[in-house]
Amino acid sequence: MPKILIIVLCFIILWGCDQTNQQGTTGSKSRNNELVDTINSTQILNINDNLFSIPSPHQVSKILIDLKIEYNPEILNPTQNTRKYSNSYKKALNLGVYGADLGYVNLYEKTQEAITYFSVIKILAEELDISNAFNKETIKSIEKNLTNQDSLLHLLSNSYQDIDLFLKTNDQEHTGVLILAGGWIESMFMLTQFAINTNNQQLCTRIGENKHPLSNLIKILSKYTEKNKIYQTLVDKLITLQELYDNIEVNYTYEYSETHPEQKITKIYSKTEITISKEDLKKITTEISNIRNFVIL
């Protein structure tokens, strides 16, 4: 028995040494096959050959500040609603919603509101048992930087990245998907409300440009419809929204790109043109509002 233990420990030590020296060595094929097998068996990672991206809610709502759209606190999900969220699914969805709201108040430099929304996010994360995803240093940094708009945006994005990583490595991807969905729905709610009220063409275009992310979101949520009925309900509602999006015309023209190797940058000149009628915009706005009500109420 002790001999086996020694062999096992030697193997682990040798493996660890190899890992620290990985810049200079290449492992054997068999060891990598073991790595794949172990990953498969322990479900450390989501193994998939096709992944879908959902734009960050901060990125979606950044257009509001660029267009100098006036701040409107009534657009936010009131923090008092938190007590309504009794199950983990609603909590996860609204963690995404409040993340988008925090991004919005931060963009408009509303410090007091940012503190309130951050507190609610902390509570929901604790209730979802994912507060470990935030390390203490990150929380301290966020609390210190609540008045620093740029730093806070970085910290918040990194925090949501930490949550994403934590959920993926703990076999809770289904929770992460709801957080993503909540963030996207909230940011689309903001875009549509401001588009209807201001009649701003750039906002209408941005709504249309979310046709593909909507399709991605449906694909991601569809993986979990057997987990809980909330996934199926959300998918059904988003499919209804997608049917409205089918009326939006998207025309793409490819153009040559321009690369500047010394700056490691490529400028993409290809173009997408979006045509959305006022009637369709109204229908989409109403449908997104219905979906958002389902999420927050």
Partner 1 sequence: MKHIFILFTLLFSNAIYAQVTNVENQVRSYLEDSYISDGQIYRVMLNYEEEGEFDVTLFGGTQYRIAFSSTLSQANLIFTVIDFEQNVLFTNQDFDNTPYWDLLFTSTIDCKIQVKIEDKQNRSGIAVMMIGYK
CA distance 156 to 101: 12
132 scored as a contact of partner 1 (CB under 8 A): no
CA distance 95 to 294: 15
Which residues fall within 8 angstroms of residue 90, CB to CB, at 6 or more apart?
A: 84, 230, 295
Choices 80-88, 120-128, 259-267, 280-288; region in contact with partner 1 by CB under 8 A: 259-267
Of these, 48, 80, 86, 112, which contacts partner 1 (CB under 8 A)?
Answer: 48
Minimum distance between the CB of residue 235 and partner 1, rounded to whole angstroms? 17
Of these, 87, 266, 286, 290, which contacts partner 1 (CB under 8 A)?
Answer: 266
Of these, 79, 157, 197, 242, which contacts partner 1 (CB under 8 A)?
Answer: 157
**In the stretch 51-80, what mask flags binding to partner 1 with x, by CB under 8 A?**
xxxxxx-xx------x--------------
Question: Is the torsion defined by CA of 181, 229, 220, 49 positive or negative?
Answer: positive
5 scored as a contact of partner 1 (CB under 8 A): yes
Of these, 10, 35, 67, 239, which contacts partner 1 (CB under 8 A)?
Answer: 35
201 scored as a contact of partner 1 (CB under 8 A): no
In order of 17, 19, 209, 292, the CA distances from 6 in angstroms are: 16, 20, 60, 58
Question: Is the torsion defined by CA of 163, 168, 169, 174 positive or negative?
Answer: positive
CA distance 54 to 99: 14
251 scored as a contact of partner 1 (CB under 8 A): no
Instruction: Compute, in degrees rounded to 10, the torsion defined by CA atoms 159, 131, 50, 94.
Output: -90
275 scored as a contact of partner 1 (CB under 8 A): no
Q: Which is nearer to partner 1, 257 or 293 (CB)?
A: 257
Of these, 14, 27, 73, 144, which contacts partner 1 (CB under 8 A)?
Answer: 27
Number of residues binding to partner 1, judged by CB under 8 A: 73
Of these, 71, 79, 168, 225, which contacts partner 1 (CB under 8 A)?
Answer: 168
Choices 184-192, 231-239, 255-263, 289-297; region in contact with partner 1 by CB under 8 A: 255-263
Choices 13-21, 224-232, 233-241, 282-290; region in contact with partner 1 by CB under 8 A: 13-21
CA distance 141 to 118: 12
Q: Which is nearer to partner 1, 2 or 112 (CB)?
A: 2
Of these, 140, 144, 154, 282, which contacts partner 1 (CB under 8 A)?
Answer: 154
Instruction: Quote the distance between the C-alpha of residue 272 and its chain's center.
Output: 24
For residues 36 and 165, the answer to whether their CB atoms sit within 8 Å is no
In order of 5, 35, 164, the CA distances from 38 in angstroms are: 20, 5, 22
